[in-house]
Amino acid sequence: MRVGLLQYDIKWEDKKANKEKISSIIENSAYKGKIDWLIFSEMTLSGFTMNLSVSSLDDSDRDFFANLASKYNMNISFGGVEDGYNKLITLNRKGGRINEYSKIHLYAFGEEDKYYKAGSKSVVFELEGLRVMPAVCFDLRFPYLFWNAAEKADAYVVIAAWPARRAEHWMTLLRARAVENQAYCFGVDRLGFEGKIEYSGNSMGFDPLGKVIIDAKSDETIALSEVEVSPDLVSKTRERFPFLKERKPWDAHSAVSR
């Protein structure tokens, strides 16, 4: 599987302009027709807004992504709001929905929790033989979410609106999730500005040993994995370094009380 990360300068709360930009980037990409799974950033069409009337997906928005999937014969993961939940949604090559995940850890520092509802459960789904656990932005700072799914997951996908001033945190945590769980980790962030907040992209993909296999840097582009993404590498890595088997149940309360 060849994985593509699409990062772009989102025009604030302008779905029409953003659809046109996305279509242009895909159509003009050197990788058109070579992508098996294309991943977008958080709240793909609106930017990270607290305006539910804009961030919420309507049928035309869902049709837009479904048409992209079928037109270019690729799986797609994108972000948007449904029923008050900030979601990561994945479609198959025909545009059919195969998974949706609602963000569990809302960004209270940015008052996201005042406008959106928090999800309640992590999920793992299969995408053409690859077992995937989705997450959204702030979730990345909570390693237990990833640890708990490690034995069932070959890859993590994190979509985000992560500010440039904390870009080092973003890149470091993506790599850490890959290394500590011996799984692929793909992260997609946006470019541009929302008011005074700058976004630098830095969408990246890491293999189960923490090696960079995708790096979009700060370009408005589709970055494609340098190698085939396969669950076989996850299995071989875990067999060679059976660290997951060394994990022990952890009772945080008991540990502190001692």
Condensed to tens digits (0 to 9), the pLDDT of residues 32-82 reads 999 999 999 999 999 999 999 999 999 999 999 999 999 999 999 999 999
The region, left, alpha or beta by phi > 0 then psi within -120 to 50, assigned to residue 215 is: beta
| pLDDT for position 258 | 47
Distance between CA 128 and CA 121 in Å, rounded? 23
Q: Structural domain boundaries of the chain?
A: 3-257
Contact 91, 98 (CB under 8 A): yes
Q: How confident is the model at residue 195 (pLDDT cuts 50, 70, 90)?
A: confident
Contact 148, 138 (CB under 8 A): no
Q: What is the CA radius of gyration of the chain?
A: 18
User: Could you tell me which of 40, 41, 44, 36 has the C-alpha nearest to residue 3?
Assistant: 36
How confident is the prediction for the chain on average, in pLDDT?
96
Share of residues in the chain with pLDDT > 90 (%): 94
Q: Does the model's pTM come out above 0.85?
A: yes
User: Distance of CA 226 to CAs 4, 34, 36, 207, 223, Å?
Assistant: 10, 12, 13, 11, 9
User: Could you tell me which of 118, 153, 110, 147 has the C-alpha nearest to residue 134?
Assistant: 153
Query: Looking at domain 3-257, which of 2.30.40.10, 3.90.228.20, 3.60.110.10, 3.40.50.300 is its CATH number?
Result: 3.60.110.10
Return phi, psi of residue 190, to 5°: -100, 170
Condensed to tens digits (0 to 9), the pLDDT of residues 126-147 reads 999 999 999 999 999 999 999 9
